[in-house]
């Protein structure tokens, strides 16, 4: 199976039963994406496929053959953190850090959804072309990423610090 992962074209040999998450972690050593619940309830495994966020635990690797996959390793490096990663540090957007890779990947896709005008459960006007950036919108849109440490307020602060101004 061939994939483009964080910009690199890779050939992977894996049993058909391998989930996308297990392929990333166990076959490719990309252990940034985390296995929390392994049943789509926590979002720790969130990665981007062609720019869209999905739960890597709920998909088989074979379903994503030929697609472009971005994991937290593709967002920034230790030497050069993405602005969102720095913001999570600055705003205490985590304690244990286990959910953080999923939170980061989810945020990147979430903001592109807002920018293209995808409404959410709390969007009042479904006809609106522009979705106003608000903490209420961010909370709803990030509800698929749980943080058992309870760092949600810091996470929202971090997201607002990076994207809030630009969207106003």
Partner 1 sequence: MMPFSYERAVDASDAVRRATGAAKYLGGGTNLVDLMRETIERPDKLVDVTGLSVEIVEDAEGGLVIGAAARNTAVAENRLVRTRYPMLTRAIMAGASAQIRNMATVGGNILQRTRCTYFYDDDGCRCNKRVQGQGCDAIEGFHRIHAILGASPSCIATHPSDMAVALVALDAIVHLRGSEGDRSVPLTDFYQPPGDRPDIETVLKPGELITQITLPTSPLAARSEYRKVRDRASYAFALVSVGAALSVENGHVADVRLALGGVAHKPWRAFKAEQALRGQPATAEAFAAAAAAELAEARPLKDNAFKVDLLSRSIVATLSKLAGDLA
Give the residues lining the site for partner 1 (CB under 8 A). 16-17, 19, 38-40, 43, 46, 52-55, 58-60, 62-63, 106, 109-110, 113, 118-121, 123, 126-127, 139-141, 143-145
Counting Cβ atoms within 10 Å, is residue 80 exposed (0-12), middle (13-18) or buried (19+)? exposed
162 to 20, 54, 82, 153, 166: CA distances (angstroms): 29, 22, 10, 15, 8
Give 61 or 87: the residue with its C-beta nearer to partner 1. Answer: 61
Shortest distance (Å) from residue 132 CB to partner 1: 16
The residue among 80 and 134 lying less far from partner 1, judged by its C-beta, is 134
Nearer to partner 1, 52 or 90 (CB): 52
Partner residues linked to 4 by β-bridges: 9, 68
Output the smallest distance, CB 134 to partner 1, in A.
14
Q: Least CB distance from residue 78 to partner 1, whole Å? A: 26
Distance CA 41, CA 46 (A): 11
Task: Name which of 23 and 54 has its Cβ closer to partner 1.
Answer: 54
Which among 155, 28, 115 has a CA at the least distance from the CA of 47? 28
């Amino acid at each position: 199976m061939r994939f483009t992962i964080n910009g690199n074209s890779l050939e992977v040999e894996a049993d058909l039963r391998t989930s996308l998450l297990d392929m990333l972690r166990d076959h490719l050593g990309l252990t940034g994406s985390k296995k929390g619940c392994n049943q789509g309830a926590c979002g720790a495994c969130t990665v981007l496929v062609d720019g869209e966020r999905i739960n890597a635990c709920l998909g088989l690797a074979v379903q994503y053959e030929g697609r472009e996959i971005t994991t937290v390793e593709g967002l920034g490096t230790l030497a050069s953190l993405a602005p969102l990663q720095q913001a999570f540090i600055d705003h205490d957007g985590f304690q244990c850090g286990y959910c953080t890779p999923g939170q980061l990947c989810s945020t990147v896709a979430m903001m592109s959804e807002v920018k293209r005008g995808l409404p959410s459960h709390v969007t009042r006007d479904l006809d609106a072309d522009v979705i106003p950036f608000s903490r209420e919108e961010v909370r709803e849109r990030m509800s698929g990423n749980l943080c058992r440490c309870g760092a949600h307020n810091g996470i929202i602060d971090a997201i607002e610090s990076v994207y809030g101004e630009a969207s106003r």
